[in-house]
Structure 1
């Protein structure tokens, strides 16, 4: 399978080139990415446990899905594509916000991403792809916040960063209704 390219961007999210994904992670080059959060009607978030054979962060819990946009693909199109590839379903998505983060891993790779965070709603069980996902579960955001504080090593580095912003965003918006 041919390695995918990531879209290199500047801090204004303007594309400045393409690079193979692994090379971008080895060189810690800023590139475009996305993270999807799926909530059910009870307000619970769908988490996935990364597959045991993933090249980094295996068996750690994280948001519903995340990946990198392909050249010419919108953020929403990319989110829907990856939801289907990892979790076996598609739903409408809305972009909430974007931000830049950097996280270094024990294997020498670094995520340096301008991450577009999206949200959608789904109320059924996913059909997980075992090459990507080991397990999944629903958790209320306040329980996730507590569990991250108590068990930080069970969650991906990026999820801990993104979840704080996501939690603040959904808390702020629920206070406005």
Structure 2
């Protein structure tokens, strides 16, 4: 299996190089990522519970899918491809915003990402890849906001970090 590379970026999201994914997370260098949020017509967000075999944040709940674009791959196309790989479907995606975060994990890995957020609509149940996804659920946005506040340990760091921005940027404008 070929090693996956990530795109190293500066603070303005300009590509400055490439690095093997695990090494980038060991060194904590800033790299490009994306997060996908899928809503249905009931206003529910599709969450996934990360598989227990993931190298960080196993078993935690998070947005519909997330990953890193491959060097030379268009960002939105990469997000749609990963949505298919993780959740078993694809749909049109709209770019919303980007944010930067950094978190060190207990296993000596550091997520330092400039993360592009995409949103899409889908009204069927997913057929997730069990190597990536332990479980999934459609969740009411307001109930989720409350649960994130009351039980933050159930969710990934980046999801807790970005949820309010996502909610205020997209969800409130839609209603």
- Equivalent residue number for residue 102 of structure 1: 102
Shift of 1:171: 4.1
- Equivalent residue number for residue 13 of structure 2: 13
Structure 1 counterpart SS, 2:153: helix
Could you tell me how far apart the structure 1 residues matched to 2:109 and 2:40 are?
Answer: 33
Between stretches 124-133 and 161-170, larger displacement belongs to: 161-170
- Equivalent residue number for residue 137 of structure 1: 137
Shift of 1:174: 3.2
- Equivalent residue number for residue 64 of structure 2: 64
- Equivalent residue number for residue 45 of structure 2: 45
- Equivalent residue number for residue 120 of structure 1: 120
Could you tell me how far apart the structure 2 residues matched to 1:29 and 1:172 are?
Answer: 34
1:68-83 equivalences in 2 (<5 Å): 68-83=68-83
Shift of 1:170: 2.1
List structure 1 runs of 4+ shifted beyond 3 angstroms: none
Structure 1 residue runs without a partner (length 5+):
none
What do residues 2-55 of structure 1 show as CA deviations (whole Å, max 9, x unaligned)? 220000001111100000011111111000000000000011000000001111
- Equivalent residue number for residue 146 of structure 1: 146
**What is the root-mean-square deviation of aligned Cα atoms in Å?**
1.0
Structure 2 residue runs without a partner (length 5+):
none
Structure 2 counterpart SS, 1:26: helix
Matched length? 175
Could you tell me how far apart the structure 2 residues matched to 1:136 and 1:103 are?
Answer: 24
- Equivalent residue number for residue 23 of structure 1: 23
